[in-house]
């Protein structure tokens, strides 16, 4: 709900309020963002913008000697006129950065929202937007800041549009999506950082006076620093979450002033960014997504609900996602139709639903040095063509999926030989190479047209049901030969706009196809991509131990339905760690499940296990893909995850013992989130015991399956006391786990309300 009371704008969601006001001078002054406020009596006494003027701080003018631009809680700060903190906007008329003072002009509250940026959240009849128009005191520059409210999800979107009202071109050097000033400085910052194979690991640190920056300069939203971040007030535990609907270079700056205030700025990274804004033109920023909650878990769930409802769209929204087999780690580039069909046969027998043909099926692509860009099938691999192969997959009762990496070109390819000018390179300079490939200039309409035509042909001819869209290198050597790109500073952003244009066209042409984006694993896991592709490949690292952090970090901001999670071989290709296939499944189950290993090489026991896992996953798929996910805090060396259906009646819960404790301690499992007055039935997932693992020494460990546990427990007991799990060594509790759990051993339980 959005309302204006006197000079206050009050934006409220079910559990939060965001308030700012217009001062008599026209300056905008943020008042509060926090728990919902309905009664506004006394609001005039809240603001603390006018704190003590100690020393030489500039004030606005002689009529307002207590209005210090450097102390105002601004909503869109500009440089030069006294506010020395991080600014949201920077413009150059040709003479360096312009000094500005943005003042309020008018506003509009309306149903829905203006969707002019290509990657944007959807809206419906419940959505409302506040548009506030500001302009500079002297220059004919207008800034429109937007606030769109999603009440049920407790989410607010912020974005800005910069309009050049002058009669000449202006150089835009930065334009943030969001700037908020908090009147506190007691924050911890939670960020999600990493690199290839260790994406989105959660880090927490104190914010201290000075600027802390998270950003990406890779040309993607990156695995180094995600645009997802939280700040948590140390004194109250209140949480503010931030994300961006954008897939390119971004920056999140946290500027703690020595005056007890914290400014958060998010948006396109000003690094190597410039935009030529011609007279009369406007520049629309991507949308920033914010939420407020009393705890990190609640904030993450608000983001999950929002993403499932307003970011993911089309036929796959809220739809159960298929269990897939991907051939990448089973074959790498050693492809043959015979091998692939043997894999498909086994997959069909074990209950899989989708077969994904990964890299190496096209052109001269027999290894990663050549062929990228030539999107025609290799008859060396598929003598009868791709259509015939797809038909054979479909005949086996499986859907057919295919891998592509459209944005790239190998210098050793027909495409590069024909169109070297399509690759991003600087004339006269040797370009940086990565994985033997160069990046295609997606700002060029002719490049996009070539890709659209080639991919459209492949997808339609082979009746493709699923596409894995990969992107495997950083963008360097900024230069575009396209006339649309007015200088190097525009390329990174135009590249992303180009990608959105191409993806948008293909997604529209193939509305039933399930698209999964990928960038060397999770190097472009962001809300921009999710607007077009409902799933993302989380990480190339499928090691179950590393995945505990990668998946838990990812789920801090993105729902399970978007998170590709696969079971791969043991020892794992990324870690050489050995683990049970049942444990690998238990971890991968909390996402969109897939396997990427050679099923034909699995032992009989493991095949039986996989069959059971898939059956189990299908039965509880709704809980795993769309349930409310929370990690349960634990002091022991373990991870406990649970996911509950939105109706709250079925819960999947999994426990991973990272290190098997050498004690006889009997843990109690307490589930505080269940309802006290209800009755629950708790069952374990029966798992196949690998006989060869244990030998014949112990009678009790030598059963084919672990014992079935099926108990009734009152909500009162399980929420308050917990139930005994039995010593982890030789389990003997009610759960009757008749084998040691082992390092990275797991247990999965299903709890249903009776």
Choosing from 13, 216, 472, 719, the residue that interacts with ligand DGJ (CB under 6 A) is 472
Cα 384 from Cα 22, distance rounded (Å): 70
Instruction: Give the nearest distance from C-beta 333 to ligand DGJ in angstroms.
Output: 8
Cβ proximity to ligand DGJ: between 248 and 522 the closer is 522
End-to-end CA distance of the chain: 38
Per the structure block, which two tokens stand in for 373?
Answer: 């860009």
Per the structure block, which two tokens stand in for 424?
Answer: 């991003």
Decide: is 490 part of the binding site for ligand DGJ (CB under 6 A): no
Point out the catalytic residue in the list 540, 586, 628, 667: 540
The pairing of beta strand 102-111 with beta strand 89-92: unpaired
Q: Where are the beta strands (DSSP E) in 165-301?
A: 170-182, 187-193, 201-206, 210-215, 225-233, 239-244, 250-256, 262-268, 275-277, 282-284, 288-293
Decide: is 469 part of the binding site for ligand DGJ (CB under 6 A): no
The sign of the CA dihedral 254, 259, 261, 266 is: negative
Among positions 389-418, residues that touch ligand DGJ (CB under 6 A) are 403
Largest CA distance in the chain: 91
Instruction: Give the nearest distance from C-beta 679 to ligand DGJ in angstroms.
Output: 45
Cβ proximity to ligand DGJ: between 308 and 410 the closer is 410
Stretch near ligand DGJ under the rule CB under 6 A, chosen from 107-115, 517-525, 567-575, 619-627:
517-525
Decide: is 510 part of the binding site for ligand DGJ (CB under 6 A): no
C-alpha 220: how far from its chain's center? 12
Choosing from 149, 344, 514, 518, the residue that interacts with ligand DGJ (CB under 6 A) is 518
Point out the catalytic residue in the list 470, 543, 586, 667: 470
Decide: is 466 part of the binding site for ligand DGJ (CB under 6 A): no
Cβ proximity to ligand DGJ: between 314 and 371 the closer is 371
Instruction: Give the nearest distance from C-beta 661 to ligand DGJ in angstroms.
Output: 35
C-alpha 223: how far from its chain's center? 10
Decide: is 520 part of the binding site for ligand DGJ (CB under 6 A): yes
Task: Answer yes or no: are the C-beta atoms of 594 and 626 closer than 8 Å.
Answer: no
Instruction: Identify the three-state secondary structure at position 261.
Output: coil
Choosing from 29, 151, 199, 358, the residue that interacts with ligand DGJ (CB under 6 A) is 358
Stretch near ligand DGJ under the rule CB under 6 A, chosen from 425-433, 515-523, 616-624, 719-727:
515-523
Cα 547 from Cα 594, distance rounded (Å): 14
User: Tokens 């990668």 map to which residue?
Assistant: 550
Cβ proximity to ligand DGJ: between 482 and 562 the closer is 562
Decide: is 199 part of the binding site for ligand DGJ (CB under 6 A): no
Q: Is position 470 annotated as part of the catalytic site?
A: yes
Cβ proximity to ligand DGJ: between 467 and 644 the closer is 467
Choosing from 183, 521, 559, 564, the residue that interacts with ligand DGJ (CB under 6 A) is 521
**Region for residue 294 given its phi and psi (left: phi exceeds 0; alpha: psi -120 to 50; beta: otherwise):** alpha
Instruction: Give the nearest distance from C-beta 470 to ligand DGJ in angstroms.
Output: 5
Decide: is 470 part of the binding site for ligand DGJ (CB under 6 A): yes
C-alpha torsion angle, residues 345, 349, 354, 357 (rounded to 10): -20
Cβ proximity to ligand DGJ: between 182 and 537 the closer is 537
Cβ proximity to ligand DGJ: between 119 and 471 the closer is 471
Decide: is 90 part of the binding site for ligand DGJ (CB under 6 A): no
Instruction: Give the nearest distance from C-beta 329 to ligand DGJ in angstroms.
Output: 8
Select from 627, 631, 580, 624 the least CA-distant residue to 606: 580
Instruction: Give the nearest distance from C-beta 377 to ligand DGJ in angstroms.
Output: 17
Residue 460: beta bridge partners? none
Residue 15 CB burial class (10 angstroms; 0-12, 13-18, ≥19): middle
Task: Answer yes or no: are the C-beta atoms of 156 and 131 closer than 8 Å.
Answer: no
Select from 741, 749, 613 the least CA-distant residue to 685: 749
Decide: is 516 part of the binding site for ligand DGJ (CB under 6 A): no
Cβ proximity to ligand DGJ: between 415 and 674 the closer is 415
Decide: is 274 part of the binding site for ligand DGJ (CB under 6 A): no
Cβ proximity to ligand DGJ: between 76 and 361 the closer is 361
Task: Answer yes or no: are the C-beta atoms of 61 and 82 closer than 8 Å.
Answer: no
H runs (alpha helix) in 411-484: 414-418, 445-461
Residue 264: beta bridge partners? 180, 254
Decide: is 359 part of the binding site for ligand DGJ (CB under 6 A): yes
Stretch near ligand DGJ under the rule CB under 6 A, chosen from 475-483, 514-522, 527-535, 724-732:
514-522
Decide: is 719 part of the binding site for ligand DGJ (CB under 6 A): no
Cα 517 from Cα 530, distance rounded (Å): 8
Among positions 527-546, residues that touch ligand DGJ (CB under 6 A) are 537, 540
Instruction: Give the nearest distance from C-beta 360 to ligand DGJ in angstroms.
Output: 8
Instruction: Give the nearest distance from C-beta 358 to ligand DGJ in angstroms.
Output: 5
Stretch near ligand DGJ under the rule CB under 6 A, chosen from 58-66, 349-357, 436-444, 518-526:
518-526
The neighbour count for residue 9, using CB atoms within 10 Å, is: 21
The pairing of beta strand 514-517 with beta strand 466-469: parallel
Per the structure block, which two tokens stand in for 165?
Answer: 């009202």
Nearest residue to the partner ligand DGJ, using Cβ: 359
Decide: is 583 part of the binding site for ligand DGJ (CB under 6 A): no
Determine the size of the site formed for ligand DGJ (CB under 6 A).
11
Cα 156 from Cα 666, distance rounded (Å): 45
Task: Answer yes or no: are the C-beta atoms of 158 and 147 closer than 8 Å.
Answer: yes
C-alpha Rg value of the chain to the nearest Å = 28
Decide: is 328 part of the binding site for ligand DGJ (CB under 6 A): yes
Cβ proximity to ligand DGJ: between 370 and 486 the closer is 370
Active site residues: 470, 540
- Point out which residues bind ligand DGJ (CB under 6 A): 328, 358-359, 403, 470, 472, 518, 520-521, 537, 540
């Amino acid at each position: 709900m959005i309302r204006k009371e006197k000079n206050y704008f009050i934006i409220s969601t079910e559990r939060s309020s965001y308030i700012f006001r217009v001062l008599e001078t026209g300056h905008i002054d943020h008042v509060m963002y926090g728990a919902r406020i309905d009664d506004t009596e006394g609001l005039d006494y809240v603001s603390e913008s006018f704190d003590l003027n100690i020393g030489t701080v500039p004030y606005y003018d002689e009529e307002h000697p207590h209005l210090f631009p450097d102390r105002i809680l601004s909503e869109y700060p500009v440089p030069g006129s006294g506010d020395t903190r991080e600014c949201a906007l920077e413009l150059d008329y040709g003479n360096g950065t312009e000094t500005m003072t943005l003042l309020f002009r008018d506003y509009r509250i309306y149903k829905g929202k203006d969707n002019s940026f290509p990657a944007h959240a959807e809206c419906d009849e419940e959505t409302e937007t506040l548009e506030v128009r500001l302009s500079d005191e002297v220059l004919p520059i207008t800034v429109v800041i937007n606030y769109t409210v999603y009440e049920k999800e407790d989410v607010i979107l912020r974005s800005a549009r910069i309009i050049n009202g002058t009669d000449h071109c202006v150089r835009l050097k930065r334009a943030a999506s969001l700037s908020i000033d908090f009147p506190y400085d007691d924050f911890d910052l939670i960020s999600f950082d990493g690199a290839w194979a260790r994406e989105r690991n959660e880090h927490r640190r104190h914010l201290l006076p000075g600027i802390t920056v998270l950003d990406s300069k890779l040309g993607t939203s990156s695995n180094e620093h995600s645009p997802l971040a939280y700040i948590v007030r140390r004194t109250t535990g209140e949480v503010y979450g931030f994300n961006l609907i954008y897939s390119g270079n971004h920056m999140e700056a946290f500027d703690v002033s020595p005056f007890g205030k914290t400014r958060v700025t998010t948006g396109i990274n000003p690094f190597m960014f410039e935009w030529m804004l011609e007279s009369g033109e406007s520049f629309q920023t991507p949308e920033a997504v914010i939420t407020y909650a009393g705890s990190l878990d609640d904030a993450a769930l608000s983001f999950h609900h929002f993403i499932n409802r307003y970011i993911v769209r089309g036929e796959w929204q809220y739809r159960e996602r298929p269990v897939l087999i991907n051939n990448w780690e089973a074959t790498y580039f050693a492809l043959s139709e015979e091998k692939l069909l043997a894999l498909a046969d086994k997959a069909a027998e074990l209950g899989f639903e989708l077969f994904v043909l990964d890299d190496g099926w096209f052109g001269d692509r027999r290894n990663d040095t050549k062929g990228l860009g030539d999107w025609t099938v290799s008859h060396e691999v598929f003598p009868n063509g791709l259509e015939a192969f797809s038909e054979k997959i479909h005949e086996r009762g499986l859907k057919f999926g295919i891998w592509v990496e459209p944005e790239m070109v190998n210098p050793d390819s027909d495409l590069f030989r024909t169109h070297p000018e399509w690759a991003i390179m600087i004339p006269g300079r040797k370009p940086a190479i990565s994985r033997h490939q160069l990046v295609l200039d997606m700002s060029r309409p002719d490049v996009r047209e070539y890709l659209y035509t080639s991919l459209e042909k492949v997808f339609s001819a082979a009746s493709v049901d699923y596409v894995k869209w990969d992107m495997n290198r950083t963008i360097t050597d900024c230069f575009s030969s396209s006339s649309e790109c007015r200088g190097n500073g525009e390329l990174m952003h135009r590249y992303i706009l180009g990608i959105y244009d191409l993806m948008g066209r293909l997604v529209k042409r193939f509305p039933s196809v399930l698209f999964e984006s990928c960038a060397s694993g999770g190097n472009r896991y962001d809300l921009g991509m999710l607007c077009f592709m409902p799933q993302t490949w989380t990480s190339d690292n499928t090691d179950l131990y590393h995945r505990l952090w990668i998946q838990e970090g990812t789920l801090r901001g993105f729902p399970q339905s978007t998170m590709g999670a696969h079971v791969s071989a043991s020892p794992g290709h990324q870690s050489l760690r050995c683990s049970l296939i049942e444990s690998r499944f238990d971890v991968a189950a909390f996402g969109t499940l897939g396997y990427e290993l050679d099923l034909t090489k699995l032992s009989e026991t493991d095949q039986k296990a996989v069959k059971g896992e898939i059956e189990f996953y299908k039965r509880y798929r709704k809980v795993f893909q769309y349930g409310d996910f929370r990690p349960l805090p634990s002091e022991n060396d373990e991870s406990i995850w649970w996911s509950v259906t939105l109706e709250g009646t079925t819960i999947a819960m999994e426990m991973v013992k990272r290190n098997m404790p050498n004690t006889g301690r009997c843990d109690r499992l307490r589930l505080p989130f269940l309802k006290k007055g209800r009755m629950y039935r708790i069952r374990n997932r029966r798992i196949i015991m690998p006989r060869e693992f244990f030998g014949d020494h112990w009678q009790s460990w030598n059963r084919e399956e672990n014992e079935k546990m099926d108990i009734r427990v009152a909500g009162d007991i399980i929420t308050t006391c917990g139930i005994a799990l039995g010593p982890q060594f030789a389990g003997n509790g009610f759960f009757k786990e008749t084998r040691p759990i082992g390092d990275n051993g797991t247990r999965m339980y299903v709890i249903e309300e009776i």
